[in-house]
Amino acid sequence: MKKHHLSFFLIVLLGLCVISCKEETKETEEIHTKVATEQPFTVDYATGFTLTEFPDYTLLEVSGAFPESKDTYKYALVKATQNITKSEGSLTQALENNTINAIIKVPLASVVVTSTTHIPSLEMLGVDHTLTGFPNLDYISSEQTRTRIEAGDIKELGQNESLNTEVAIDLNPDAVIGFGVDGQNKSLNSLERAGIPVLYNGDWVEKSPLGKAEWVKFFGALYGKSKEADSIFTAIETAYLDTKKLAQNVTNRPTVLSGAMYKDIWYLPHGESWPAQLIEDAGGDYLWKDTKGTGSIALNIESVLEKGQDAQLWIAPGQFGSYSKLAEANKVYTQFEAFQHKKTYTFTSKKGATGGLLYYELAPNRPDIVLKDLVYYLHPELIPDYQPYFYTPFED
């Protein structure tokens, strides 16, 4: 009989605990929601990250680190002066619930980044002096950052897929901003085991031009410069939308071909990619705009010739920079109308001191400039005095 009374008592006690825990969780969620509503960080175009401010930390969530990523990485950004061990509140609960991937003390005093697309954000925010290491320094084109490389302020870290972890650990950065295709980078895992916080940045996964550029806010949060990052992005957004508006009501939309062959396969952007969106916003008619996907399409030369032979403009023709080189590589290129009428434009003419292409580094951060370049070539009457920055005509 006593056992039955004891069992009943335990069941009632357990029930009260569950109700109490649920009420506490609900109350905490309501507090979080209230704070997040009162102090939001706006992310309007990027789909791969969010920022939410709580009383004792900022939650940075990256859900688009890789294509088709199903994981969400959560990072707690905590003021460098804050004593985490004595922290009470939302951060403590998040840590207890084991929902945080890493705690990052901000503002960062030193950082390692792994993609050239990260460099412009550091420079625009005025924090490029914190960069201490990078994989394959030759890819960096920025004159400003190359000056620091030549001075020995930025260390070579090998290749992105196999970082020199010994050098990276010796640098002991406050954080490493990772770039990868599937989250299985063994080098980054080694750095995490060494106690160095690693964050994933998925700017390259974004579909829209402004979505890519908005990742400057990711870096703004890491340096306590969210207001500055917001202002930088607003200026880019305004310039982009103003240029887009110019081309919005054009009556003619020139047909556009893109890409070139590599080992007998022609690679060109899918219709949902950011290059395709730029052509659309510039008032062009991209011939493969109806294809689904955000990466590259691999086609045989016959299908490209059939559909694109009469295209009025040809942009981004691979690594080629002149008509003679194009013809030398393959005579079939000479059959395209854009080749014959000298309407082919490339971004390969602007290179850094060690061969890196400036377009790959800066264009994702400055889609407003890319858009103006395209509008100039598609509809020169709209901005007749503009001097193109990335794209230039072939040399001959």
Domain check: are 69 and 165 in the same one?
Answer: yes
Q: Which of 176, 203, 235 is at the close of a domain?
A: 235
Domain check: are 262 and 320 in the same one?
Answer: yes
Domain check: are 199 and 306 in the same one?
Answer: no
The domain of 272 spans 252-393
Domain check: are 190 and 286 in the same one?
Answer: no
CATH number for the domain harbouring residue 103: 3.40.50.1980
Return the pLDDT at 14.
Answer: 37
Q: Which of 235, 266, 290 is at the close of a domain?
A: 235
Arithmetic mean of pLDDT over the chain: 89
Domain check: are 192 and 75 in the same one?
Answer: yes
Structural domain contains residue 22: no
Domain check: are 135 and 227 in the same one?
Answer: yes
Structural domain contains residue 350: yes
Domain check: are 162 and 272 in the same one?
Answer: no
Q: Chain-centre distance of CA 133, in angstroms?
A: 19
CA gap 274, 295 in Å, rounded = 9
Domain check: are 133 and 218 in the same one?
Answer: yes
Contact call for residues 48 and 62 (beta carbons, < 8 A) = yes
Structural domain contains residue 17: no
Structural domain contains residue 6: no
Contact call for residues 351 and 141 (beta carbons, < 8 A) = yes
Domain check: are 277 and 133 in the same one?
Answer: no
Domain check: are 210 and 162 in the same one?
Answer: yes
Structural domain contains residue 176: yes
Structural domain contains residue 13: no
Q: Which of 170, 201, 235 is at the close of a domain?
A: 235
Q: What does pTM read for this prediction?
A: 0.88
Domain check: are 293 and 199 in the same one?
Answer: no
- pLDDT tens digit at each of 396 positions of the chain: 444 443 433 333 334 344 444 444 443 344 344 344 444 589 999 999 999 999 889 999 999 999 888 899 999 999 988 776 655 567 877 777 788 999 999 999 999 999 999 999 999 999 999 999 999 999 999 999 999 999 999 999 999 888 999 999 999 999 999 987 776 788 999 999 999 999 999 999 999 999 999 999 999 999 999 999 999 999 999 999 999 999 998 999 999 999 999 999 999 999 999 999 999 999 999 999 999 999 999 999 999 999 999 999 999 999 998 999 999 999 999 999 999 999 999 999 999 999 999 999 999 999 999 999 999 999 999 999 999 999 999 987
Structural domain tally of the chain? 2
Domain check: are 159 and 229 in the same one?
Answer: yes
Return the pLDDT at 130.
Answer: 98
Structural domain contains residue 174: yes
Which sign does the torsion angle of CA 282, 230, 124, 128 carry? negative
